[in-house]
Amino acid sequence: MLKVICNQRDRFRARLRETEEEIRQLKEKIGVLTVELEKSKADNVKLYGKIRYVQDYNLEKVVSRGSKKYAEDIEGGIASDVESKYKKIYEDDINPFAAFSKKERDQRYKELGIRDRITLSSGRFLLGNKYARTFAFFYTIGLHVLVFTCLYRMSALSYLSNGPEEFLVGEKNVDLPRGP
Instruction: Quote the pLDDT of residue 52.
Output: 79
- Nearest residue to 126 (alpha-carbon basis) of 110, 137, 142: 137
Query: Residues 82-92: what's their mean pLDDT?
Result: 73
pLDDT at 66: 46
* pLDDT at residue number 74: 46
Q: Residue 41 to residues 35, 128, 178: CA-CA distances in angstroms?
A: 10, 34, 84
Q: pLDDT value at position 175? A: 57
- Residue 64: predicted pLDDT: 47
pTM here?
0.36
At 101, is the pLDDT very low, low, confident or very high (cuts 50, 70, 90)?
A: confident
Q: What are residue 167's phi and psi, to 5 degrees? A: -120, 145
Q: What is the pLDDT of residue 83?
A: 74
Q: Can you tell me the mean pLDDT for 59-73?
A: 50
